[in-house]
Amino acid sequence: MSLFDTVQVELDGDKSTYQTKDLECTLDTYRVTADGIFIFKNNKYYKVPWICGRVELHRWDVKQNEIARRVLYFEEGVLK
């Protein structure tokens, strides 16, 4: 078993929790706000400007009985 990070997404009416290996893989929790801002949760939420490029997210979709995949692209911590 390997480590991953958790990303809580609040985009396009989607309020889901995903996992990713595209970040630090230290079991941290991040959030993508409805405004497309990528933030880090460490007792408080902080904007993460170093997130640039592609972040692939995965979660188990119970209704579809399959893995749901979502790919987001960021530039300086903001969704493109």
Please report the pLDDT score of residue 42 as a whole number. Answer: 67
pTM: 0.85
Alpha helices in 1-80 (DSSP H): none
Contact assessment for residue 40 and residue 6, using Cβ atoms and an 8 Å cutoff: no
* Boundaries of every domain in the chain: 5-79
State pLDDT tens for residues 16-64: 999 999 998 989 899 999 999 999 876 677 788 888 999 999 999 998 9
